[in-house]
Amino acid sequence: MPGRTTVQLAEAKAQNLQPTRLAGNGYILGPDRAIIEFTGNAPAERFDHVHIWQDDPVCAQLWYQKHLNATPRRVRAEAGPPATDANCKLSRGLEPSWPSLARQGTYRSPTGGVSFGDVAMNWYPNQGDRPLSPSRRGLIDHVALSVTDLDAWVGKLKREKVSVLRQPYKIGNTRAVMIEGPSHEAIELVEVK
């Protein structure tokens, strides 16, 4: 897991530990002050991943696996049995770590994530004490995934009682539906034939 706590940073400094300088990442400030991460030493430039805060990252991973057939990216690092709906709510780690985009550091435990093809969604826990707000009309309004049979997906998600934010609608020469994820993030499913 990326990041070092205050104690780990002191240990690294005492050991004169130096970075490998083989790969890494950095950040640029995009339009509307959106933070864009770039990752180095990749074989090709491409869209690689997105970070999203989750109220319960391990539960979110299970939700995406169950409802959207996502491939898990993270194995539960905390000791204990495999994650289930009954045990996925874990307390946020006690210490933040750096590097971080926030002066006070970033809480990185527990973590979760999934992949859709070769694009990953990586999650850290909610950094605050209040539940996360819906993403609609925020800086990042929603993420979109493609599906081949929208009607089949809508039926599946309704049977599973997934919240539908917007019933199927036309988008160009295709259709889409907007659903809500486990921490109120909007997810658009776009039909691609």
For residue range 143-192, list pLDDT tens digits in order: 999 999 999 999 999 999 999 999 999 999 999 999 999 999 999 999 99
Kindly tell me if the per-residue pLDDT of 119 is higher than 60: yes
Q: What is the mean pLDDT of residues 17-26?
A: 76
CATH superfamily ID and name for 133-193: 2,3-Dihydroxybiphenyl 1,2-Dioxygenase, domain 1 (3.10.180.10)
Sequence ranges of the chain with CATH classification 3.10.180.10:
133-193
For residue 37, CA distances in Å to 9, 22, 27, 56, 77 come to 22, 17, 4, 23, 24
Q: Which tokens sit at 193?
A: 């034939």
- The pLDDT value recorded for residue 77 is 55
Q: Name the pTM for this structure.
A: 0.85
Kindly tell me if the per-residue pLDDT of 78 is higher than 60: no
CA-based radius of gyration for the chain: 18
* Confidence band for 29, pLDDT divided at 50, 70 and 90: confident
